[in-house]
Amino acid sequence: MNSDQHIWRLWAKSIHRWGVQEWVAALLDAAGPLNLLGAQIVYIGQPALKHLFPEQQVTALAEMLEDTTYTREFVSMLREVASSESV
């Protein structure tokens, strides 16, 4: 189990509130290997991003994008939050 899953759950709930959970899940699924490029962009932008977002969340985003297993877990969490809140 990933130690950042509590952060992922917060993201999933926020994304669901915005109503874009299926869009985000589909984008992460379709991006596949491009997620690794996204992770590298987050790592490069980390000095600037930590002024906008908590550093732990920026790191969690980069790590989630970098590891395909984590990306799949987050996509599952997005869909899980969406289905549990629609019931």
pTM: 0.85
d(CA 76, CA 25): 8
Determine the Cα–Cα distance for residues 58 and 73; give it in Å rounded to an integer.
18
* pLDDT category of residue 54 using cuts at 50, 70 and 90: very high
- Confidence grade of residue 80 (pLDDT, cut at 50, 70, 90): confident
Residue in the block written with tokens 């790191």? 59
- Cα 71 from Cα 87, distance rounded (Å): 25
C-alpha span between 26 and 23 (Å, rounded): 5
> Token digits for 24?
């985000």
User: Is the per-residue pLDDT at 84 higher than 70?
Assistant: no
Residues with Cβ within 8 Å of 77's Cβ and at least 6 positions away in sequence, in order, are 5, 8, 9, 12
Instruction: Render pLDDT for 11-48 as a digit per residue (tens, 0 to 9).
Output: 999 999 999 999 999 999 999 999 999 999 999 999 99
Structure tokens at 57: 């969340």
